[in-house]
Chains A and B, each alone.
Chain A
Amino acid sequence: MVGEVLPVLKIEHLATPLIGPIDLELEAGSCTAVSGPSGAGKSLLLRAISDLDESTGSVSLNGKSREAYSAPDWRKHVAYIPAESGWWADRVKDHFKDTPELNDLLNTVGLPDAMDWQVSRLSTGERQRLALVRALQLNPDVLLLDEPTSALDPPSVERVEGVLKHQLADGKMLLLVSHDPEQPKRLGARHMHITAGKLTDAAVMESAQ
């Protein structure tokens, strides 16, 4: 492994006018959960990492800095899935690429027929799961998830967490915003706390998978 860098997302002094400075390191196959009161900057942190909001400081993936990627390329490697997803066409299938693994992904989140549906008839929970599938199609190295299961019933939560665990086993890095105190535990996550735009280690647990 000489000269080989372990896959890692490294965040140093990341700041916007509203949050930071924030330092954080995500390692391959690891999950980090962030919780905190509303307005503390959880979503802003994810937006800043994905370069959707202007920020200072440095973010790098596997030793290559964010600025060395084109912005669209960066977002394909570091995929941010907002709490409320956007849908720009009428038909669900116009939001997806026709890749071979699409059907498997749809099956695992429990929506095998979704490609025939209209966006206007989707429930919030269906949107949430489909937005995850859409992002997973990019095969990103890092997933930034903003409350990925907030609108789901318990069986669907289990399905989505199953997908996330699978991603972790695949060596992906997860950064998760969650209000469910049990979710970080179920995913074996390091638990961080954010208040007033500053990140602190909740030091609750650091359990292995």
Chain B
Amino acid sequence: MSSGYQALSYLDIVAASVFLILNAVFSIVLRLGLTKTLIVSALRMTVQLLLVGLVLKAIFQSGAIYWTLAAVAVMAVFAGREIWARQDRRLTGFWGPGLGAGAMLLAGIMVTVYALAGQIRPDPVWSPQYALPLFGMILGNTMTGVSLGLDTLHTSLFRGKRDVEAQLLLGCSRWDATRPVVRQALRSGFTPIINAMAATGVVSLPGMMTGQILSGVDPQEAVKYQLLIMFLIGGATGLGVLGSVFGSIARLTDSRHRLRLDRLSGGQKS
């Protein structure tokens, strides 16, 4: 791993921030009003990453499965909350946070376990150095897909209530009547990962691959890893989006093929 690795000192990090600080100075001089947000988010990022570095180091050193699982649980809670927060209109009750997080976790955990046990095969298989970054990447992308899919579905169902009901009234089943909105939601949930696959390698090198190359890994090996990750991410995102969108349709209609928008709440943003 360390054939060509150049270690950084903390002084190097401070030196790298000089251009960002320059931007803050420009903002003050030009009265752009961005100074505060810029500095706050830079400081926030610094603190978050330093803490994550400490925590990960501790978990890696302990190598214990329960610390690994605890980290997985914390990531899952944050990602689940994020899905909930990114929806303008949400399912009421337990389903609001539950459905999106459930679909994301089911897809994310299944794909992560499959890759760890099948292709990467670290020893032990739950080795945090592999499990946590892998799970993080898969979870993060699935989270984005699921929240986009659900947000689009709920907004277009709410706006298109009349169109869906018109089809129900002509004797369509709830699945047929919601097909146009489902298609829209699936497309919206799949878009980021499809775009990422299309642009990868041409416009920019993916972050993980860049990291591996910087730490001295043969580019061809880094590409193999990147492909593995992209397939896993794409698969997990797809499963998560499909599961959550169809789950939500099942919840927002009933067995008598009625549209049940009374099970939807929110709409503050619009």
Cα separation A89 to B176 with both chains bound (whole Å): 13
> Which of B160, B169, B173 lies in contact with A135, CB distance below 8 A?
B169
* CB-CB contacts below 8 Å: B145-186 with A: 160, 162-173, 180
Docked complex Cα distance between A81 and B168 (Å) = 11
- Stretch in contact with the other chain, from A33-41, A51-59, A152-160, A196-204: A51-59
Residue B258 interfacial (CB < 8 Å): yes
Closest Cβ–Cβ distance, residue B46 to chain A (whole Å): 50
The residues of B with any CB-CB pair to A shorter than 8 Å are: 160, 162-173, 180, 254-259
Q: Taking A52-B258, A72-B257 as contacts, is the C-beta distance between A88 and B169 under 8 angstroms?
A: no
Choose from A79, A86, A89, A135 the contact partner of B165 (Cβ within 8 Å). Answer: A86
CB distance from A53 to the nearest CB of B (A): 7
A71 contacts B258, C-beta separation under 8 Å: yes
CB of A82 within 8 A of chain B?
yes
The answer to whether residues A75 and B170 also contact, given A52-B165, A86-B162, A86-B164 and a CB cut-off of 8 A, is yes
Interface residues of A, Cβ cutoff 8 Å to B: 50-54, 70-73, 75-76, 79-82, 84-89, 131, 134-135, 138
Which residues of A sit under 8 angstroms from B163, Cβ to Cβ? 86-88
Residue pair B170, A138 in contact (C-beta under 8 Å): yes
User: A73: which of B164, B169, B171 is its contact (CB, 8 Å)?
Assistant: B171
Given A71-B257, A72-B257; A50-B166 close (CB under 8 Å): no
Q: Within the assembled complex, what's the spacing in Å between the Cα atoms of A84 and B169?
A: 13
Could you tell me the distance in whole angstroms from the C-beta of A132 to the nearest C-beta in chain B?
Answer: 12
Among A52, A72, A81, A131, contact of B173 (Cβ-Cβ < 8 Å): A72
| B170 touches which of A51, A53, A135 (Cβ 8 Å) | A135
